[in-house]
């Protein structure tokens, strides 16, 4: 369910009043950037990280946002307030290069911006039991650190996963695993976590940056070193991370079980630490505590 009050530029309007012209850069070129921010119990999680990344994406594509970081922080807080959000949700926001007759060259117009909140319960079942994934070639461009609206390769990979009965597609460039279609990916081998380094080939996930902190706190070594699709098959554990999927075990890849086919110890430790970090009162481990 989408909450009725949405941000259009810096004003609140009713959801069905927000209209976009068909001569719009986001629609015609995917010429824009976005963020998805987690809300738990009415509070943002990792909001500073998301706002910082939005501004980094904007700078990378030479897009001028119609507010400062501080003002955006305030506006997003108001978005939760005016909708009286008390539960778990996500906020989607996007900025495009604006409305103008179609021409590749940048138009001399202001950026378009909107943001809305949508109710989003935690994916308890998947967090507890783990999910299946498939591997897919990473056919995206070379600036995946930019959270751009151009998501066609991601959409196609995720759809392929769904059609094969899986939740995610693990992407690889020449057998080097980069990330998933809409999340970061990690393996655990001999007690050590490995994930692709923060290069231009992956999105620098906000939860990923938190996973690094949590691993340090838990004294679990985390190596930012790329691994191969073969390494995935030999892994003790595999998991993914994102603002909507949290830290989620991957228990099957291309039809083969990851190790025993159950969520692993390291993954579960991180999930527990994540719940504490996000200040969650309800736990996926509630039944076993």
Residues of span 24-43 touching ligand PDD by CB under 6 A: 36
The distance of closest approach from Cβ of residue 174 to ligand PDD in the complex, given in angstroms and rounded to an integer, is 18
* Enclosing H/E stretch for 57: helix 47-60
- The residue range among 12-20, 100-108, 199-207, 265-273 that interacts with ligand PDD, by the rule CB under 6 A, is 199-207
Nearest to 175 by CA among 134, 213, 222, 137: 137
- Report the DSSP pairing between strands 32-40 and 89-96: antiparallel
Q: What are phi and psi of 127, to 5 degrees?
A: -65, -35
Of 147, 158, 252, 268, the catalytic one is 147
The question of whether 147 is a catalytic residue gets the answer yes
Q: Does residue 205 touch ligand PDD according to CB under 6 A?
A: yes
CA triple 155-161-164, angle to 5 deg: 140
What Å distances lie between residue 261 and 60, 264, 278, CA to CA? Answer: 41, 9, 27
Residues of span 240-259 touching ligand PDD by CB under 6 A: 241-244
Q: Tell me the HSE value of 16 on the side-chain side, using a 13 A CA sphere.
A: 0
Q: Which is nearer to ligand PDD, 206 or 284 (CB)?
A: 206
The distance of closest approach from Cβ of residue 61 to ligand PDD in the complex, given in angstroms and rounded to an integer, is 16
Please tell me the count of residues contacting ligand PDD according to CB under 6 A: 15
Q: Which is nearer to ligand PDD, 33 or 132 (CB)?
A: 33
3-state secondary structure labels for all residues of 195-246: ECCCCCCCCCCHHHHHHHHHHHHCCCCEEECCCEHHHHHHCCEEEEEECCCE
The distance of closest approach from Cβ of residue 222 to ligand PDD in the complex, given in angstroms and rounded to an integer, is 15
Quote the tokens at residue 51. 């706002």
Q: Does residue 94 touch ligand PDD according to CB under 6 A?
A: no
Q: Which is nearer to ligand PDD, 83 or 184 (CB)?
A: 184
The distance of closest approach from Cβ of residue 70 to ligand PDD in the complex, given in angstroms and rounded to an integer, is 21
Q: Does residue 206 touch ligand PDD according to CB under 6 A?
A: yes
Interface characters, 158-187, with ligand PDD (x: CB under 6 A): ---------------------x--xxx---
Quote the tokens at residue 267. 């993954």
Cα–Cα dist 125/127, whole Å: 6
- Provide the phi-psi class of 118: left if phi over 0, else alpha when psi is between -120 and 50, else beta: beta
- The residue range among 98-106, 198-206, 220-228, 251-259 that interacts with ligand PDD, by the rule CB under 6 A, is 198-206
- The residue range among 12-20, 74-82, 221-229, 235-243 that interacts with ligand PDD, by the rule CB under 6 A, is 235-243
Residues with a catalytic annotation lie at 147
Where do contacts with ligand PDD occur on this chain (CB under 6 A)? 36, 154, 179, 182-184, 203, 205-208, 241-244
């Amino acid at each position: 369910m989408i909450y009725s009050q949405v941000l259009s530029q810096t004003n609140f309007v009713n959801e069905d009043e927000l209209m976009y012209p068909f001569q719009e850069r986001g629609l015609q070129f995917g010429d824009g950037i976005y963020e998805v921010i987690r809300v738990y119990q009415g509070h943002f999680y990792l909001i500073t990280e998301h706002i910082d990344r939005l501004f980094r994406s904007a700078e990378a594509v030479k897009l001028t946002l119609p507010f400062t970081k501080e003002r955006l922080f305030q506006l997003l807080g108001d978005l939760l307030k005016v909708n009286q959000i008390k539960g778990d949700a996500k906020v989607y926001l996007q900025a495009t290069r604006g409305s103008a007759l179609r021409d590749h060259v940048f138009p001399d117009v202001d950026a378009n911006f909107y943001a809305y909140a949508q109710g989003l319960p935690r994916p308890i079942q998947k967090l507890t039991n783990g999910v299946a994934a498939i591997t897919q070639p990473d056919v995206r461009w070379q600036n995946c650190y930019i959270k751009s609206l151009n998501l066609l390769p991601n959409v196609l990979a995720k759809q392929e996963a769904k059609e094969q009965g899986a939740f995610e597609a693990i992407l690889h460039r020449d057998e080097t695993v980069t990330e998933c279609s809409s999340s970061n990916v990690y393996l655990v081998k001999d007690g050590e976590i490995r994930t692709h380094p923060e290069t231009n080939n992956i999105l620098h996930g906000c939860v990923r940056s938190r996973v690094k902190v949590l691993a340090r706190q838990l004294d679990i070594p985390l190596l930012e070193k790329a691994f191969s699709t073969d390494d995935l098959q030999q892994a003790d554990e595999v998991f993914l991370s994102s603002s909507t999927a949290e830290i989620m075990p991957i228990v099957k890849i291309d039809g083969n079980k990851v190790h025993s086919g159950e969520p692993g110890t390291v993954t579960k430790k991180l999930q527990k630490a994540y719940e504490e970090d996000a200040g969650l009162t309800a736990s996926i481990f509630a039944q076993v505590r």
